[in-house]
Amino acid sequence: MAVCHKAARPLARCMQTSQPPCFSARSIRQFTTTSRRDGEVATVPETEPIVYDPATVTSRKGEKALMKSGVMPIGSRRRRAALKSSGNLPFEQLPYQCFQEALKIFRTDREEKLKQIQTERLRISNLEAQDASNVKGGEVQKQRRLVSMRSHLEYLKIQADINDPLIKKRFEDGEGDMNKPIYRYMAEKQWRKYQQLLIAQRIDQFNIVPDVLPHFEPTADVRLAFKQRSVQHGEYVDSRVSEVPLRLKVQVFDKGERLVSIVVIDSDVPVSEEDNFTSRCHFLATNIPLSPTITSIPISQLPKESIALPWMPPFAQKGSPYHRYSVFVLQQQPGETLDAAQLKEAVQRDGFRLRSFKDKYKLDPIGMSIFRSTWDEGTAGVMQRAGIEGADIEFKRKRVEALKPKQKARGWEARHSSAKYRQLWR
């Protein structure tokens, strides 16, 4: 019994001293005698319409309100809840231990690479300042060493940035500044993974290489479009679509601005007299500026001085097999400009040979794309509008008679179908 009392005493004290909050509130509150009606008119509390942030809205009501106002909430609901509760840290400060250690490793490596870049730059400048007679191997060896040192410097520049997740993200989002070597490097790597293989396959499939040029290795990414319709490499393009001049998007991966020429060649113009095909130039333009950041070349908006041969719409006469139209981007020698008016006189549309053209004007093909064209319902109209004759010509294959005699009919029925076997007829 005594034990119970001992146990109960602190409990009793606890119950006596503590007051339930509801009682205490009632005892504290003042009792007003006047009624509210006698006082001021109670104003409806003005609640401002709550402005929801599209990045952090989590409630269904908030989402509906945002969507009604025309703004879409950004990301998934989980993402928005995470952003709301996390304090909006920038990516590289996220408190994941392994990630932070990885960033630490990356940062120390970057410091080392920057030091190496500095020493390499110093070495290059020292070697350049050296007289060729002091260098072992003379001028030739000096230049070779400089070339390899410069390529090593480029390698170090890439290695300093390649492990950075923010740079990777920026590149993947398409916000990379193409003037920086790391973004150019990543763009080239992405191009070589698929698109370069694709264009190389098309060049091989359509025999561009022996027909138009003896050797060609693309080093720039060339994409075509007619108005808003993009063209895959080798795609059939309707003649009405290709009536307007095309738009080019060329991405080069080495730094610096350069001038390019653009040529559009039809490789399959039929020549019925020779039973063969010849080529024709549909478009020629020169002195077009191009750089890693200037990628868009709309032909219809080029200045008149650049265009040597204006756009002739592609047409394939009836009966001829599909025509291959190759669009070549040729880089001019640094500092050299070509005279478009002189080219207009010198270059013939029919029988155009890209080999001799590029050798004569010292051009270097860096990229190409290709599309095809056949006879369709609109070709006649296109030719008539462009003032090209020959829409009423239909090409037909010459029938070649075989030298060997026609094969006799096989089978019992065939052999016994003549009048001699009348009695055997069914």
Chain residues that interact with another protein, rule: CB under 8 A: 79, 91, 94, 96, 98-99, 101-103, 105-106, 109, 163, 165, 168-169
CB of 101 to another protein, least distance (A): 7
CB of 99 to another protein, least distance (A): 5
CB of 108 to another protein, least distance (A): 10
Report residue 82 CA to chain centroid gap: 32
Q: Give CA–CA dist 259/335, Å, rounded.
A: 8
**Residue 102's CB: how many other CB atoms inside 10 A?**
13
Question: DSSP secondary-structure letter at 218?
Answer: -
Residue 273 half-sphere exposure, CB side, CA atoms within 13 Å?
1
Q: Which is nearer to another protein, 7 or 102 (CB)?
A: 102
Torsion angle of C-alpha atoms 342, 345, 350, 356, degrees rounded to 10? -40
Q: Which is nearer to another protein, 172 or 394 (CB)?
A: 172
Tokens linked to 122: 């110093």
Q: Which is nearer to another protein, 94 or 346 (CB)?
A: 94
Query: Reading across the β-sheet that carries 235-236, which strands appear in turn?
Result: 235-236, 364-373, 323-331, 258-271, 276-290, 307-309
CB of 190 to another protein, least distance (A): 15
Please return the burial class of 313, using the count of CB atoms within 10 Å of its CB with bins 0-12, 13-18 and 19+.
buried
3-state secondary structure of 373: strand
Q: Which is nearer to another protein, 172 or 350 (CB)?
A: 172
CB of 52 to another protein, least distance (A): 23
Q: Give CA–CA dist 312/354, Å, rounded.
A: 17
Q: Which is nearer to another protein, 109 or 413 (CB)?
A: 109
Q: Which is nearer to another protein, 89 or 244 (CB)?
A: 89
Q: Which is nearer to another protein, 108 or 130 (CB)?
A: 108
Q: Give CA–CA dist 272/263, Å, rounded.
A: 25
CB of 104 to another protein, least distance (A): 8
